[in-house]
Structure formats: structure tokens, C-alpha cells
Amino acid sequence: MFVDKTKIHIKAGSGGNGIVSFRHEKYVAYGGPYGGDGGDGGDVIFEADPGMTTLMDLRYQKKIKAESGENGKTKCMHGANGQDTIIKVPLGTLVKRDDTGGIIADLTTPHQQEIIAHGGRGGRGNYHFKSGRNTAPRYAEDGKPGEEFDCTVELRVLADVGLVGFPSVGKSTFLDAVSRAHPEIGDYPFTTLAPNVGVVQVNDGRSFILADLPGLIEGASDGKGLGHEFLRHIERCRVILHVLDMGGEEGRDPLEDYRIINQELENYEARLLERPQIVVANKMDLDDAPKNLERFKAAYPDVPVFETMTLIREGLDPVLKKAADLLAQTPPFPLLDEKGEETGITYTFQEKKKDIEIKETEPHVFEISGPKIERTFDIRKLNTEEDYYMFANKMRYMGIDQALRDAGCQDGDTVRISGFEFEFIEN
């Protein structure tokens, strides 16, 4: 089964916690700090595997997670780092974050690796916090959580030239005739249910990759038929081979077919019509083909047409040479994001959201929320007076004290954090 799109949940490993530990040494308070650092969490990495052709493995692997780092050890020993999770995907795989729509990675070269989700940093042990004023710190840092989000993984076939056209116009026969690919060929519409790719060798020694894409129909860009599932694959192609049934074997008018397919390519909003297009007039052995070809040239006098009979492999060499010539002068087209804008970099950075928000929910009651405070605050870690002292210092360092004052918080007011209440005290 050909699978070219799936949604998965990704979670990188969390960093291990630093620990509080002391040496048992005479005349040294608490023996001296001896707690080690936690290990870093593992990353989730995607690797492009030239031997893969489908995202079938990911279809049944909806959650991918990396190993978390180990907690620190005594004797200032570092906890082990979490192992990275490496997922192999086909060449041409594109990864997008669902929450931002930004492209995280575009894997286009063999064995290329990209970090999809970064693991969390390990927390520091208490030996880091020793100072002249505090020779025996009884606190350590917690490890940071790894990145976690939903993403969409798409496969966009890597091909230089793409075959487009209505069903049963001879695209699969063309690919079979010019390459060693052996797509299924039948005398019924939608024989091709998945893109087929083959390497084409031109007589003069040049070569390129040709993709046979499932037949388009009118309304494909709006979700009709099978073609709308595979329009995305054309985005990778630099040249389009537009195959027409010039003999009208299926009872369609080739001029109308040409207009409809180009309209669908334009409606896809990926600037597909900017790619150079070669028109292939196929099935020229049929009775109505010469008449239809004359009508086509009269309607589109500026469009060069190549006459072929793919079934008997006639007229194919000029088409391949023309495609190779166009490839030599056509640069790659940039992929576009959800807004139709170019994404010329691997990572798409989004505008940073507010880390901390302060609201006065009722008179003299202020609530602090936001991802940064949620990562920092953990009521389970506030067990001793020293823990509260460190937490208060961290709030001051993060600028929350001043932000509360700016919001109108006064001495004695109530401050809520993650469902817990504290009293605001002015020193």
C-alpha cells in the first residue's frame, strides 16, 4: 500500500533531574555538596532512506518518543543521556508542525538527518550551587522537558519531470516505454493508484527521474477523484509532461482536457504553471488524432506539441531530449507553506508566544499563567524553607515580581500559580 501522508505525535526525551547529595567528610558541613547532573534527553531524528518508498511504517506508529535522561548520581557523577530515536523515512519527506503549520524538515538527500524534536537539558546537581554564603546547598535543578507536539508527515515524490493528464491518456505506458519502471497498465480509468517513478536515460547520455502521477479530473484541486491526493508530488518537479489523448479514445475532447488540467494546476496554488510544460500528443495512430491535433495547434499556436504513439514507442526520443534541455536551464522551485509563501529554510521560526501572562481575576487576586511558569513551578519540589527561597529568587530573576507590581499587585494580595495560592509580600 502506498501511504504518502500521516499524522503522528512526537515527544523528545526529558532531561534527568540533578540530585542533592553530600559527602561524609569530617569538619565539612553536611560533608560538602556531591550531587551530580541529570543527563540530557534524547532527540527525535528523521533520516532519509533511499530504499524506502512509502510512509507505511509511520501509519501504524502514531506516537514516537525518545529516551529521557537519567537522574544525576552521587560523587558528582553525570546521569546517562537519553538515546536518540532515529526514524527512517523515504526521500522527499516533508515534516510540518500542526500547531504552527511551519516546515520543520525537508529530507531530499540520501541519509540526510534532521532533528525533529530536541530533548530537554538535564538539571544541575547541588554541587553547582555551592558558594561562600551557602557551603551546603540542599537544592538541585530539575531536568527540562523535551519538545512535544503533533506533526504531519508528507511524502512528495522526488522527481525531475512529472507526467500529468486525464486517466487513460497513456502516462503509465509512456513511463514503461522510457524507463525500467513497470507500472500497472490497464484499459480502465484510475489504473494508477500511486505515483510510479523511473530513471530515464536519454540517447545523448543525460538522465533524469520521471514520475507517473495518478490521473487528474476536473475539480481535483477541490478534492475530487484521486488526483488531488497527488498534486503535492508535482511541487518537486521542475518540468511537467502534459500527456493528451489526441485521438479522443475515451470520448473526451483533448482541447478541453488541456484546459481543465491546466486550470487544476493553477487552482492548486503552488505556482505549478510556472514550471515549463511539454505537451505530448499521444495515440496519434487513432483516426481522429490528426484532426484534433490541427484544432489544438489552431487554438494554441504558441504551444509546441510532440506527436507520439507510446504503445509502439514511436516519437519518444524528441520528448526526452526536450525534457533534458529544459531541466538544464530550470532551477528547483521552492516549496510553499500553508500561506503560499516560500520556505527556503529547513526550519520555520514562528513569532514567540508570551511566556508569562498576569491577570487580575478578581479584586486583589492575580493569576500567573504561561508555558514558562508551568515549566518552572512544581509544588512537589517546595518542601523546605530553602526550596521556597530558591523559588522566590527565580521568580524575581524572571521579572515576575516587577510584572506583578506593574499589574497593580500590592503587599498582601493573593497570587495564584497553577491552582496554588501565595501571598505577595513587599520586602
Which parts are annotated binding residues?
165-172, 190-194, 212-215, 282-285, 309-311
Instruction: Supply the DSSP string of 280-300, one letter for each residue.
Output: EEE-TTSTTHHHHHHHHHHH-
How many CB atoms are closer than 10 A to CB 412? 10
Contact by Cβ (8 Å): 153, 105: no
280: left (phi over 0), alpha (psi -120 to 50) or beta: beta
Going by the DSSP 8-state scheme, the letter that residue 9 receives in this structure is: E
Spatial distance between the Cα atoms of 316 and 176, rounded to a whole number of angstroms: 12
Q: At what angle do helices 254-267 and 289-299 cross, to 10 degrees?
A: 50
Please give the backbone phi and psi of residue 372, each rounded to the nearest 5 degrees, phi first: -70, -40
Which residues fall in the annotated binding site for GTP? 165-172, 190-194, 212-215, 282-285, 309-311
How many CB atoms are closer than 10 A to CB 49? 17
Name the amino acid, one letter, at 230. Answer: F
Which residues fall in the annotated binding site for Mg(2+)? 172, 192
Spatial distance between the Cα atoms of 107 and 116, rounded to a whole number of angstroms: 11
